[in-house]
Chains A and B, each alone.
Chain A
Amino acid sequence: MSTAPALLVLSGVSKSFGGVQAVAALDMEVRQGEVLGLIGPNGAGKTTVFNLVSGIQQPTSGSIRLAGAEIAGLRPDQVCRRGIARTFQTASFLPGMSVRENVELAAAFRDPAKIRARRTRDVVADALAKTELTDVADQPAELVNVSQQKRLEIARAIATEPLLLMTDEIVAGLNPSETDDLLRILVGLNREGMTLVFVEHDVRAVLSVSQRLIVLAQGKLLAEGDPRTVARSPDVIRVYLGSRYAGNQ
């Protein structure tokens, strides 16, 4: 298991919507260079955690630090320029634009220091190549297939040259072959040094790529550790399948 320093640290993060506590005093960290799987049943708070980290929603309380700097309270564009990129649960390409233009947008608005360091054109070409989209780069984003649209989301995210990439149910709706292709791309990005947080319902996909696993339930951290060990934990089985199944383990 990775013993690398923490890249992202959430301390006592809570988020409530009226009377509903979506995330409750959550403490968790993402280590530099790891692939962290984040799972939990529906309503566990996974997407809310993503929204809090990426600035789409603001925490009710708590601290979120990226590479030591506080990012809670920042806008999504500021969080992005600090080095966090994300994908969305539903395909969120920008219609009316080609695949390349979707990626160009992200590259053009990345942190100015990164723009000075590397040409936008090179970043776009690299992102398209890494996600195997070069051949369809000039097609309208809405006309490429679902697998390519998912990869487009990753291409757009990595075109911001992030420190941390968070994918939200990125393999949902893909067949096993397309899922394997996409996971191969993500693993390749991780091997190049990118830190990944991987929210997924497909437990097979999570276990195949994650180096560490965190399980959320009702907005709290339920279990954390080696993916296969955590997946066999009675507590985890209970929240997914009910106490009757947990007792059989």
Chain B
Amino acid sequence: MRLFDRPPGLSGQFAWLLAAGVGLALLPLALDPYWTRFAVFVFINIGLASAWNVIGGFAGYPSFGHSVFFGLGAYTGAILTVRYGLPFWTTLPLAGLAAGIFSLLFMPLFKQRGFYFALSTLAAALAVEAVVRSWTWVRGYKTSDHGWNLPNDMSVIFFYYLGLALLLACLASILLLIASRVGMALRAIHRDETVAASVGVDCARYKTIAFAFSAVWPGVFGAMYGPFLVYISAETVFDMKITLNMIVYSVFGGVGTFLGPIVGGVLLSAIDQIAWAHFLDYHSMIYGVVIVLIITFSPGGVLSWVRKPSGGLRS
């Protein structure tokens, strides 16, 4: 029997997640600050890709505007911290909430599918970024500011454990979501929306739930990202590359599968680091070539090497 032919049940998946969390919790003992900091970026990227995968992978609506929710979370966190003096811990859920509520403005775009949906989300994201860049109250503390300086009073180790905890919470929530009626509805919508609707699936409702869910976690990670970087601007947190990374990690690992964004995130981060450390001049080219090769010759992503194509209502 091939590996992963029989995916474990929900309790088994939680057990694997817990075991991975315990293992990763011990990792800082063996890591220097550089690699600890690198791991934080990996956690954030996997969390973002996994959240994107809910709407882009499971539901089959590839959003090209998801960096908006990350940026919105980062800016919400910064504004709440700097302008209103709220404690860091309270900014995380509030940023997630803000991103989730803001995502509801994207609902009219769900009248479109595929290429048109992707382009519409991209255009919406660019519009939001333009507003953030020009709205002086939002873009910085002083009128002349083009970003936010945040308190630098937390260690890298703190962010490591925070990032790990948020990632585990994000992944656990995704496991629960895809095992629920929502997950069942999303997979049916992905395969044939007309058929799904004809058997009673309220497609608009489940797409809204999926999109809001996939926006909340980028909002939370965005609120963590600001204090981690200490300074954020529209260029850093609304960057289109953030969305592309979410998509590339998911597709590289296996889009529409739970493990895909995790595998894609780990492997691509490692490839990126190795290429950067040893072939600095060619690092982007190597990274790009690897992605093109995998997508060309293994469209199901790396996971398709070890498991059958995802199937079933609860896979």
* Chain A bound to chain B: yes
B interface residues, tally (CB under 8 Å): 23
B200 sits at the interface (CB 8 A):
yes
B195 sits at the interface (CB 8 A):
yes
Q: Which residues of A contact B187 (CB under 8 A)?
A: 94, 96-97
Partner of B199, one of A75, A78, A105: A105
Q: Which residues of A contact B199 (CB under 8 A)?
A: 77, 80, 85, 105-106, 109, 156-157, 159-160
Partner of B203, one of A77, A110, A111, A140: A77
B237 to chain A, nearest CB (A): 36
Q: Contact check, B309 vs A96: say whether CB atoms are below 8 A apart.
A: yes
How far, in whole Å, are A94 and B199 apart by their CA atoms in the complex?
Answer: 12
Q: Which residues of A contact B201 (CB under 8 A)?
A: 77, 105, 109
B299 to chain A, nearest CB (A): 15
B260 to chain A, nearest CB (A): 15
How far, in whole Å, are A77 and B200 apart by their CA atoms in the complex?
Answer: 4
**17 further contact pairs, Cβ within 8 A, besides A88-B198, A106-B200, A108-B184:** A55-B197, A56-B197, A75-B197, A77-B202, A78-B202, A80-B199, A81-B200, A86-B198, A92-B195, A93-B195, A94-B196, A96-B191, A97-B312, A109-B201, A110-B200, A140-B311, A160-B200
Partner of A77, one of B197, B309, B311: B197
Which B residues form the contact surface with A (CB < 8 A)? 181, 184-185, 187-188, 191-192, 194-204, 309-313
Contact status of A56 and B202, CB under 8 A, knowing A96-B310, A108-B184, A140-B311: no
A14 sits at the interface (CB 8 A):
no
Question: Closest A-chain residue to B314, C-beta based?
Answer: A101
How far, in whole Å, are A78 and B202 apart by their CA atoms in the complex?
Answer: 8
Which A residues form the contact surface with B (CB < 8 A)? 54-56, 75-78, 80-81, 85-86, 88, 92-98, 101, 104-106, 108-111, 140, 156-157, 159-160
Q: Which residues of B contact A86 (CB under 8 A)?
A: 198
How far, in whole Å, are A85 and B200 apart by their CA atoms in the complex?
Answer: 9
How far, in whole Å, are A111 and B202 apart by their CA atoms in the complex?
Answer: 11
User: When A and B form their complex, what is the total count of cross-chain residue pairs whose Cβ atoms lie within 8 Å?
Assistant: 80
Question: Closest A-chain residue to B188, C-beta based?
Answer: A105
Q: Is the interface of B mostly helix, strand, loop or mixed?
A: helix
B111 to chain A, nearest CB (A): 13
How far, in whole Å, are A147 and B177 apart by their CA atoms in the complex?
Answer: 35
Q: Which of A86, A92, A97, A98 has the most CB of B within 10 A?
A: A97
How far, in whole Å, are A110 and B310 apart by their CA atoms in the complex?
Answer: 25
A73 to chain B, nearest CB (A): 15
How far, in whole Å, are A156 and B191 apart by their CA atoms in the complex?
Answer: 15
Contact status of A75 and B313, CB under 8 A, knowing A105-B184, A105-B188: no
B46 to chain A, nearest CB (A): 25
Q: Which of B195, B197, B199 has the most CB of A within 10 A?
A: B199
A90 to chain B, nearest CB (A): 11
How far, in whole Å, are A78 and B197 apart by their CA atoms in the complex?
Answer: 9
Nearest 5 interchain pairs by C-beta: A109-B200, A106-B199, A76-B197, A96-B311, A80-B200
Q: List 18 A-B contacts (CB under 8 A).
A: A56-B198, A75-B197, A75-B204, A76-B197, A81-B200, A94-B191, A95-B191, A96-B310, A96-B311, A104-B313, A105-B196, A109-B185, A111-B200, A140-B311, A156-B199, A157-B199, A159-B199, A160-B200
Question: Closest B-chain residue to A81, C-beta based?
Answer: B200
B192 to chain A, nearest CB (A): 6
A133 to chain B, nearest CB (A): 16
How far, in whole Å, are A160 and B199 apart by their CA atoms in the complex?
Answer: 7
How far, in whole Å, are A96 and B191 apart by their CA atoms in the complex?
Answer: 8
Q: Which residues of A contact B309 (CB under 8 A)?
A: 96
How far, in whole Å, are A15 and B121 apart by their CA atoms in the complex?
Answer: 32
